[in-house]
Structure 1
Amino acid sequence: MCVIAAASTSSSRAKGSRRRQRPSSRERLLASATHLFTTEGIRVIGIDRILREADVAKASLYSLYGSKDALVIAYVRALDESWRTRYAERISDLSDPKSKILAMFDQAIADQPESEYRGSHFHNAANEYPKPDTDSERGIVEAVREHRRWLLDTLTTLLTELNGYPGLTQARQLLVLLDGGYAGCRIERSTMPLEIAKELAKSLLGAPPADYCI
């Protein structure tokens, strides 16, 4: 009896430990949504599919996020946070603003094989809502734009540091190169378009800045 009781107690402790180690319902929902949205798309994925993947009850999704669209917004913002964090780590040992600018292209290039050449997840999310009809759909597009504004602001700041005066026009030109590189990678299933975009960015940085005024 003592042996059986001890075994039962040990089993209960193991189960309790596994429960404590398991990610929360919120984390599981976001992780499942991220996997499904990035690999298959957003609109094609229904709530029930996310719930099955996450092993979470429907009531939990509505209590934690309120709706699928709110979960999509959380997904886009999580992508943005991840991008910013990884970029900060990539440039942590860099001091030259030009190197920091080119590091954006390096990060985009490094991401493509892992994402199976799906281009930009931010572009893909925006493409699914070409004419947002509701406040929640507009919120999704706005979350994408927040990431884009951060990219533009970061590039502008670095170009201002590099050239000594505001670099908004040149920042927009670099962002267009990044956009085109992402689109090409998705079509060609290769990093070459982004690598070419990086080389063009080097040429642009070596030319007289578009923002320069005599």
Structure 2
Amino acid sequence: MANFASTTQGGDAIAADDASSSRKHAARTSAKPSSRSSSGAGSTRRRNRPGPRQRLLESATRLFTTEGIRVIGIDRILRDADVAKASLYSLFGSKDNLVVAYIEELDQDWRRRWEEMCADRPKPEDRILAFFDMAIADEPKENFRGSHFQNAASEYPRPETDSEHRIRQAALAHRSWCRDTMADLLTEKFGYASRTLADQLIVFLDGGIAGSKMSRTVSPLETSRELAKQLLYTAPMMYTI
């Protein structure tokens, strides 16, 4: 009987040890992520990751707007975007073409944000003043770097190649759109076209942005907005065209 009890107790101890080992193994198994799960998460991240073109443009925008265009080399952009050189040349052909695409992307974003700001501004004079209001809002957020379009054009004062000419043209296209939009709004307000008045307004905007960049305050832009407002509300109905 004593031997039977001893054997029984020993068997119970072994069973308890086995149960304990099973629980520990189960705990380790549940705590450790499966390779399949990790692989799935990685695949999801890769699927949600922007494509090479978008990554290149995002990196170019971040680097060009904060440090300048000419000082940033191709290798720096490729590292930041995590894109192979072959992809850059396949998508854009050259750094200069990437610069053109970067400026055009900035221009489209600027127009979109201007349209959004004007959504609740039915009067043409208020939509003109939105150009100044956008600059006043942007400059502090951009660390008073000035107009990215002016900055890009100033880096190519004497373009020597076709691609450098296209860079300047892309920057000037934004300014031309601003001026032409102002001219159309002036026609809507006064009933006649006045390129001269539009030229004065764009010079106010150019000067306000440049002044804010120099002084690192929005005061010059606020002054230029006030000058634009006075012009808009005091221009004679038969302004010389």
Q: TM-score range by the shorter chain?
A: over 0.9
How far apart are the structure 1 equivalents of 2:238 and 2:91? 46
- 2:52 equivalent to 1:25: yes
Structure 1 partner of 2:202: 175
Structure 1 partner of 2:8: none
Structure 1 partner of 2:230: 203
Deviations 1:152-200 (A, max 9, x none): 1100000001111002110110000000001011111111110110001
Report the CA distance shift for 1:209/1:155 in structure 2 as closer, same or farther (over 3 A).
farther
How far apart are the structure 2 equivalents of 1:186 and 1:72? 22
Bigger radius of gyration among the two: 2
Kindly state the Cα deviation for residue 82 of structure 1 after the two structures are TM-superposed: 0.4
User: Is the Cα contact below 8 Å between 1:120 and 1:182 reproduced in 2?
Assistant: yes
Kindly state the Cα deviation for residue 113 of structure 1 after the two structures are TM-superposed: 1.0
Provide the identity percentage: 58
How far apart are the structure 2 equivalents of 1:97 and 1:18? 46
Map 1:178-193 to 2 at 5 A. 178-193=205-220
How far apart are the structure 1 equivalents of 2:122 and 2:65? 33
Map 1:76-155 to 2 at 5 A. 76-155=103-182
How far apart are the structure 2 equivalents of 1:54 and 1:209? 53
How far apart are the structure 2 equivalents of 1:27 and 1:86? 19
Kindly state the Cα deviation for residue 209 of structure 1 after the two structures are TM-superposed: 4.6
How far apart are the structure 2 equivalents of 1:26 and 1:35? 14
Report the CA distance shift for 1:157/1:137 in structure 2 as closer, same or farther (over 3 A).
same
How far apart are the structure 2 equivalents of 1:27 and 1:208? 45
Kindly state the Cα deviation for residue 90 of structure 1 after the two structures are TM-superposed: 0.2
How far apart are the structure 2 equivalents of 1:209 and 1:43? 46
How far apart are the structure 2 equivalents of 1:54 and 1:163? 49
TM-score, normalization by structure 2: 0.84
Report the CA distance shift for 1:94/1:102 in structure 2 as closer, same or farther (over 3 A).
same
- 2:52 equivalent to 1:8: no
The structure 2 residue matched to 1:156, chosen from 167, 183, 202, is 183
Kindly state the Cα deviation for residue 8 of structure 1 after the two structures are TM-superposed: 1.6
Kindly state the Cα deviation for residue 212 of structure 1 after the two structures are TM-superposed: 1.8
User: Is the Cα contact below 8 Å between 1:129 and 1:137 reproduced in 2?
Assistant: yes
Instruction: State the 4+ residue runs in structure 1 displaced beyond 6 angstroms.
Output: none
User: Is the Cα contact below 8 Å between 1:61 and 1:67 reproduced in 2?
Assistant: yes
Paired residue total: 213
- The letter for the 1-side match of 2:62 is H
Q: Any stretches of 5+ residues in structure 2 without a counterpart?
A: 1-28
How far apart are the structure 1 equivalents of 2:205 and 2:159? 25
Structure 1 partner of 2:86: 59
The structure 2 residue matched to 1:47, chosen from 44, 67, 74, is 74
Q: Any stretches of 5+ residues in structure 1 without a counterpart?
A: none
TM-score, normalization by structure 1: 0.95
SS in 1 for 2:110: helix
Point out the more displaced range, 6-15 or 40-49.
6-15
Kindly state the Cα deviation for residue 15 of structure 1 after the two structures are TM-superposed: 0.6
Deviations 1:129-161 (A, max 9, x none): 001110000010111111111101100000001
Structure 1 partner of 2:16: none
